[in-house]
Amino acid sequence: MVQRRLPRPSELAPLLRPAPFVRDATARRLRRAASVADLRLIARRRTPRAVFDYCDGAADGEQSLRRARAAFARVEFQPSVLHDVSTIDTSRDILGKRAALPFAFAPTGFTRMMQTEGERAVASVAQEVGVPHTLSTMGTTTIEDLAASAPDARLWFQLYLWRDRSFGKDLVQRAAAAGYDTLMLTVDTPSGGARLRDVRNGLAIPPALTLKTFVDGAMHPNWWFDLLTTEPLTFATLAAGGTPEEMINRVFDPALTMADVEWLRDTWPGKLVIKGVQSVDDALRVVDAGADGVLLSNHGGRQLDRAPVPLELVEPTVQALGGRAEVLVDTGITNGGDIVAAVALGASAALVGRAYLYGLMAGGRAGVAKVAEILRADVVRTLQLLGVTSVDELGPQHVRLR
C-alpha cells in the first residue's frame, strides 16, 4: 500500500515554474515544434487549404512520395559505440564548395504563395546556416533581387527549358551574372503531373478571389492580410497564370533531349546538375553529356506516380559513376537522420523541399530557421549516436535498407 501525505508548500514552490511569456507571436507558435512534422501541422492550420495542399500533395495516388518516405523508414543504422564524439564536423563538399551541412534547399515554385516572405526568407536562412539555396524558374522573386537580398548566400538556379530556347539562354546568363554558381536543369517535367488535390481544390495561381476563397479568408486572416498588403504575388521570370498543370504544359518543352544538356554545358560556365534522373543508365548518359552532378529525384512525387524510389538509386548510381560526377538525392526527406542515411549510402548531399516550406508556412523566416536548426541538430545527434565524428566519415557500413 502506498502511504499518502499532503505536500508541503516548500516542496511545491520549486515546481511552480511558469514558462516565460514570449511576446513575439511567431516565436510562441514555433517554440513547441520539435520536428518538421510538428511544423507541418502548424502550417496546415495557418494556410488556406488549396495552398497547403499544393505544397503537401503529390501526383495521382501519391505513391511516389509515400514510397520515398517509406524507404527512409526502412533505413537501419549500424552504430559503433565507445568513440569520442564530443566534437562533430557536419561540413561537406558539395559541387566544389564546402557547405556547413550536407544539404541544400530544393527549388520550389510559387514560394511567396506559401507565405509572402518567400524565397528571400529561405535564402537568408541558407546564408546564415551556410547551405546552398536553389531558386526555381517558377520563383516569385527575381534572380537579381534574391541575390541582392542575401549577398553571401550560395545560390543555385533551377532551369526549366522553354520551347523558346532564347528565353532559357537569357535566364542562364542572368543567373551567371548575378553570381549563381550552379545550374540545375529539371528534366522530369515533359508534361505536368496530375496533382489531384489541386484539381479538387480548384487551385489557380495567383489565387482567385471567389466566394470560396473569401470564406477561407475569414479562417486564415493572417495569410490573406499578408498576401494583400505586401508586394503583389507574381512570377518573377514567368509571365503566365492559370493552374500549375496548365502553366507547365504551356511553357515547358516536351521535346527536351540530351542535345539540350550538351548545349547547356557549352553555355553555362559553372557547375551543371541534372535534376530528376531516375535510372542508373540516365545518370551515365547525362554525365557523358557533361553534367557535374545528378540529382536523383522524382520531384517529390509530383510528376510520375509509382516512380522509382530515389534513395534506392543512390548506391547503384554512385557505383556506376565511379566518382565521375556527384550524386545528390531528394524526395521524402523529413529529418536530419534521412540526410545522414543518404550521405552514408554515397550521396554528396541531399535536398529538402517540403520540409522548409512547412517551416515557411508555419512562421516565415523564423519557421525556415527552425527547420534548419532541427535538421542540424538531427545530423549532429545521429552522427554521435552512430559513433562517427564527421559527415565525411560516413559510409555504407553505417546503414542498410531493411
List active site positions: 299
What is the C-alpha to C-alpha distance for residues 278 and 294, in angstroms, rounded to an integer?
10
Distances (CA, A) of 290 to 271, 285, 356, 366: 10, 9, 31, 39
Q: Is 195 in the site for ligand FMN (CB under 6 A)?
A: no
What is the C-alpha to C-alpha distance for residues 365 and 116, in angstroms, rounded to an integer?
10
Residue 164 Cβ vs ligand FMN, minimum distance, rounded to whole Å = 18
Q: Is 141 in the site for ligand FMN (CB under 6 A)?
A: no
Give the three cell numbers for residue 355: 520540409
Q: Is 354 in the site for ligand FMN (CB under 6 A)?
A: yes
* Residues 45-64 interacting with ligand FMN (rule: CB under 6 A): 54-55
Residue 333 Cβ vs ligand FMN, minimum distance, rounded to whole Å = 5
What is the C-alpha to C-alpha distance for residues 324 and 392, in angstroms, rounded to an integer?
18
Which stretch of DSSP H or E encloses residue 277? strand 271-277
Residue 3 Cβ vs ligand FMN, minimum distance, rounded to whole Å = 55
Sign of CA dihedral 391, 396, 401, 402: negative
Q: Is 136 in the site for ligand FMN (CB under 6 A)?
A: yes
Question: 126 near 132, Cβ under 8 Å?
Answer: yes
Residue 61 Cβ vs ligand FMN, minimum distance, rounded to whole Å = 16
Q: Is 275 in the site for ligand FMN (CB under 6 A)?
A: yes
Q: Is 352 in the site for ligand FMN (CB under 6 A)?
A: yes
Among 48, 102, 109, 193, the residue binding ligand FMN under the rule CB under 6 A is 109
What is the contact mask toward ligand FMN in residues 311 to 350, using x (rule: CB under 6 A)?
Answer: -------------------xxxx-----------------
Binding site for ligand FMN (CB under 6 A): 54-55, 106-109, 136, 138, 158, 186, 275, 297, 299-300, 302, 330-333, 352-355, 357
